[in-house]
A = this chain, B = another copy of it.
Amino acid sequence: MHTFRESRPTLEAVAAHAGVSRATVSRVVNGGPGVREEIREKVRNSVEELGYVPNNAARTLVTRRTGAVAVVIAEPESRVFADPFFAQQLRGISRELADHDTQLLLMMLERQKDYARIGRYLSAGHVDGALMFSLHGDDPLPAMARRSGLPAVFGGRPGWPGAEEEADLLYVDTDNRDGARQAVAHLQERGRRTIAVINGPLDQTSALDRLHGYCDALGVGVHEANRSLVAQGDFTAEGGERAMARLLDAAPSLDAVFAGNDLMASGALRTLRARGRRVPEDVAVVGYDDLEPAAWASPPLTTVRQDVEGMGGMMAELLLRRIGLAVGTDAAPPAPVITPATLVVRESS
C-alpha cells in the first residue's frame, strides 16, 4: 500500500520503467506529436502502473494553463464568513467556473503581509486568472496582477489612481449611486425630513458611490452634507450599531436612516430598538444588498437589491472570455458591466 511518505513518481521513473527517453514520456504526457502508437501505449501503461501524475509545473511550461482561477477577497476570513454578500457572490462565480471545468481557489487576506504572498502565488503561474473583490483604495493587488500580466476581473468599480485610463480594465459593478439615490428619494416620498446615512468604508468605491447617491437625492455636494447626519460604518452589523448610536446622539430628531448595506442596517435596527425608537413609526430604515439579513430583520428591511450572485457569474464569465475559455454571445470583446439597482420596499420604511 502506498503511504503519504512516498514521494511522487517522477518523469524519469516512468521513462526508466517504459524503457524510453524522458523526452518521449514528456511528449506523450503533454500530447505532443511524433511518437509511434506502440510507444505511446507503453508509456501510458507505465504511467498507469506507477501512478504517475504529470507535474503541472512541467505541463504549465508547455500549455500555460492550470485549470484554476483565484478568487481573492481583500478581507479577513472573519468578515468573509460573516457577510452573506461574499457567499452569494462566490456561488455565482463557482457555478460559472464549474461550467467551464475550472477550479475556484479562494484566498483571503488576514494580515498586511499576506498581500506579498498572494501576489507571489498569483504571479507564479499557478492560476490562469484572478477575480478580485472588496479591494480598498490603496490595494496593491491590481498592480501585482498588472505586473504579472495575469488576466484579472474586478468586483466593483476600481478606485485606484489612474484606473480610468486603463482601457482594458474589466469589472462588474452595480449602479451604486443610482441605488442610493432611489433609497433616499423613497424616504423623502414617505415624508421623512431628517435623513441620516451610515457609510461603508469610503476607500471602497461602492461605499463612496452610495454616499454620492445620498447627497444627490438631498441636492447637496458631498462636502456640504450635514455632518451630524453622516456616520461612518464598516459594512458590519456591529459597525452599524455603533454608527446609529452616534447619529442618535448627534441628531436626536432624525426620522430616517439609509445604511450602506443590510448588515449595518440590521445593526442600526438593534440600536433603535434599544433606544426605544419604533421602526418605521419614529425612524424609517433602508439598507442595501437585499440578502438574507434584510428579509430576516425585524421589521424586514426596505433595501436596494443588487443581483450579487448574477454579478459573480458575470465576473467569472468575463474572465473566462479574456483567458479564451469562453466566448461571448457576440463578437465584441469583453467589457465592464454595470447592473441596475432596484428598490425593494418592506416594513422598515
List A residues 103-133 near B (Cβ within 8 Å): 103-108, 110-111, 113-114, 117-118, 120-121, 123-126
Across the interface, A60 reaches (CB within 8 A) one of B55, B86, B94, B110, namely B55
A91 near B66: Cβ-Cβ < 8 Å? no
B58 near A77: Cβ-Cβ < 8 Å? no
**Which of A17-25, A146-154, A246-254, A293-301 faces chain B?**
A146-154
* Residues of chain B within 8 A of A8, CB atoms compared: 123, 148-150
**A53 contacts the other chain (Cβ, under 8 Å)?**
yes
For the complex, would chain A's binding face be called helix, strand, loop or mixed by DSSP majority? mixed
Task: Given A1-B162, A4-B151, A57-B61, verify A94-B121 contact (CB < 8 Å).
Answer: no
**A226 contacts the other chain (Cβ, under 8 Å)?**
no
A47 nearest CB across to chain B (Å) = 12
List A residues 56-96 near B (Cβ within 8 Å): 56-61, 66-68, 70, 77-78, 81-82, 84, 86-87, 90-91, 94-95
B106 near A105: Cβ-Cβ < 8 Å? yes
Task: Given A8-B148, A110-B98, verify A77-B90 contact (CB < 8 Å).
Answer: yes
A interface, size bucket: 35 or more
Across the interface, A4 reaches (CB within 8 A) one of B87, B105, B168, namely B168
* Residues of chain B within 8 A of A56, CB atoms compared: 57, 121, 123-126
* Residues of chain B within 8 A of A84, CB atoms compared: 81
A184 nearest CB across to chain B (Å) = 31
**A275 contacts the other chain (Cβ, under 8 Å)?**
no
**A177 contacts the other chain (Cβ, under 8 Å)?**
no
Q: A166 to B1, alpha carbons, bound, how many Å? A: 8
A114 near B98: Cβ-Cβ < 8 Å? yes
Q: A113 to B114, alpha carbons, bound, how many Å? A: 31
* Residues of chain B within 8 A of A9, CB atoms compared: 149
Task: Given A56-B124, A57-B60, A124-B66, verify A169-B4 contact (CB < 8 Å).
Answer: yes
**A329 contacts the other chain (Cβ, under 8 Å)?**
no
* Residues of chain B within 8 A of A145, CB atoms compared: 4
**A201 contacts the other chain (Cβ, under 8 Å)?**
no
* Residues of chain B within 8 A of A66, CB atoms compared: 121, 124, 126
List A residues 207-246 near B (Cβ within 8 Å): none
Task: Given A105-B106, A106-B106, verify A117-B147 contact (CB < 8 Å).
Answer: no
**A189 contacts the other chain (Cβ, under 8 Å)?**
no
